[in-house]
Structure formats: structure tokens, C-alpha cells
Amino acid sequence: MSAPKILVTGGAGFIGSHVCVALIAAGLRPVVMDTLVNSDPRSLQRVARITGVEPPLVRGDVRDAVALDRAFAEHGFDAVLHLAGLKAVGQSVSDPIGYYDVNVAGSLALVRAMERAGVRTLIFSSSATVYGSTQRSPIRESAPYAAVNPYGRTKVMVERLLADLARADGRWGIACLRFFNPIGAHESGLLGELPHGPPDNLLPYVSQVAAGERCHVVVHGDDYETPDGTGVRDYVHVMDVAEGHVAALRHATTHRGLLTVNLGTGRGASVLEVISAFERASGRTVAWRVGPRRPGDAPAYWADVQHARDRLGWHARRGLDQMCADSWRWQLGNPRGFDDPDPALPAGFVSAST
């Protein structure tokens, strides 16, 4: 019997490409559908360098019913991992139509196509942003929705759609994965995050300061009610997140209905703790200055991870030091991203393709 084929929407992106690595390592066959608006197809060549298998790429949009039907007919998927979507909070405020269209209408078009193809196993990339900023940490999955921006509300709407779908039709097996703050890179240094322009997120910014590409990190506020006054988040290694997808897929394949789980470590780290960890990992000094609070930022939140342990048997295995060390290896080996020739592999790392 051949290995199950899995459609990975958004599979060429930061998280999606790492998910492909984890799927292949688990003996599954990912096929990527991606518009490439915020990703690079060369990420899939790097997946091949790590695993020995290059996932086929269907360049297309999940809102395109014809493209979806064609892909389902051609490949005969067993399940779908839906990671495609827009994710910049600020942009979602200025372009709500674009965000609702890609994230909500895109998800609706996808489940319609799945229904037509009779494929009813789906893993959806959601976000801790659905909790908003009012919850006490650690946050359990049963906390109410309180998203505070259009991006977060698109995630809430898709979660609600999927819950209604699972309730209406018992043939569906669905998992919604609420990511906390995925960072890091594949330990090979071949795959990582590739922000277009100045990064919005903390880790790529810190990494570029350590590399000398930017002069200092602006710490967005040091007067929060946290131990050192700076914002606290639950940073989780992207390969742990990727392995969480494999665990969720196993669960959704064997259990019908809806499962919603947090993907985090259960621990918070402050901005200054992240900067210190990065300095240790890189051996470089990371200059920083305190700026004003960033509008819309929550002071502190982290995940309750018990549900993921109980239902998926999954927990994050990699700590903050490893997240920083892996990010730094990626940064050093690929200062211009995939425009750089393939970097040498770290000592001791065995690539499937060499």
C-alpha cells in the first residue's frame, strides 16, 4: 500500500515547509499548493536536501475551485493540512476585505472542494490570537474567543465554520491547531523564516541585529506588569509545531469530530530573555533600546499544554536556547535567504540526499 498523500496549502512558507519535512519523516507524501505571494518555491528544494524527497508544487490559490478540483482529481489526497493564509496583524486592519477573502473565503472554498472529493480529514492552522489579550495564562482551549483584530477574527470565523461542519456531518475529522509564537529553523540550517522587508516579529529582527544587518532592536515597552517589564510570549520551535501537525493528522484520521489544541511550550519568555538567549546562541551582542508599547500588544500570555499532551500525545521538546541556535544557524548560512547557494550542513547532520 502506498503512503497517504497529504495536500499542504501554504506548504512553501515558513511553517509549511517545516511541516513538509515532518510529514516526509513520518512516511507521508505531501503535495504543496501555494500562491507563492509570501513564500519561495526553493524552500521545497531545501526540503528535498533534508529529506531526499521534493514535494510536488501546485502553484495555485485555495479560492480557485477549478484549481482545487484539478489537484484533488490528479493526486487523490487522503487528507488536507490548511496553512495558507495572510498573517500580518497590521495589514489586516488596513485591508480587512483582503484578509476575510483569503482566510475565510479561501477556507470555505477548500472545504467545499474537500466535500466534492469526499476527503474529510482536515488540520487547520489557527492561532493563539483567537484568545485576544484578556485571558489569564496559562490559556486553556476552553477560554472564550476574544480576538481584537481582523486577522484574529478571520481565524475565529474559520474555527466556527469547522465546528459547525463537524457537528453537521459526523464523517469529518478536523483539528484546529492554535499556534502560539513559532520561531526557530530546521536544525540543518537549510530552512527558516524569510521575512519580506523589515520583520514585524521579534525573532527575525533580533537575528538580523545579531548579524549586523540592523542596528538595534526596539523593545516595544518595558512598563508591563511582567517580571522585567517587557512582553511575555510562548515561543515554540517550528519543528515542534511541524511535529504537532503530524500528531494532529494521526488523531484526525482515526477520530471523527473536532479537536482544538494549543501548540505552545507552556512557558513564557520576555523580550529581554529572548534577546539574552539569542546573544548566548550567537556569541554576538544584540543592541536594544526601549520604545513605546506597540498598539494592540498583550502584556503576557502562554499556553496550557495539557490538552495537547492528553489528546495528541504531543509536547514541545525543544527549548528557547535551541530555537535561537537554530535561527542563528539559518541566519548565518543564508543571509540572503534562498538566494544564497545551499550552505554546508552542520557537523554531524546527515542529509537524506547526500
Compute and round to an integer the Cα radius of gyration of the chain.
19
Taking the CA atoms of residue 55, residue 127, residue 119 and residue 25 in that order, the dihedral angle to the nearest 10 degrees is 40
Please pick, from the candidates 54, 101, 200, 342, the single residue that binds ligand UFG as defined by CB under 6 A: 200
35 is an interface residue for ligand UFG by CB under 6 A: no
Residue number with CB closer to ligand UFG (119 or 123): 123
By C-alpha distance, which of 30, 61, 38, 332 is closest to 200?
38
**What angle is formed at CA 232 by the lines to CA 231 and CA 234, rounded to 5 degrees?**
145
Residue 262 near residue 92, CB atoms below 8 Å? no
Residue where the block lists cell 534562498: 338
120 is an interface residue for ligand UFG by CB under 6 A: no
Compute the least distance from the CB of residue 54 to ligand UFG, in Å: 29
180 is an interface residue for ligand UFG by CB under 6 A: yes
Give the other-Cβ count within 10 Å of 26's Cβ: 17
Compute the least distance from the CB of residue 300 to ligand UFG, in Å: 8
Q: What nine digits make up the cell of 326?
A: 537554530
Determine the residue type at 103: N
- Using CB under 6 A, count the residues that bind ligand UFG: 20
Whether residue 151 lies in the annotated active site: yes
- Of residues 151, 224, 235, 301, which has the active-site annotation? 151
Distance (Å, rounded) from C-alpha 52 to C-alpha 101? 36
Residue number with CB closer to ligand UFG (29 or 87): 87
267 is an interface residue for ligand UFG by CB under 6 A: no
271 is an interface residue for ligand UFG by CB under 6 A: yes
Site for ligand UFG in 227-256 (CB under 6 A): 231, 233
Write out the catalytic residue numbers. Answer: 151
Q: By CB under 6 A, name the binding residues for ligand UFG.
A: 87, 89, 127-129, 180-181, 200-202, 205, 217-220, 231, 233, 271, 294, 297
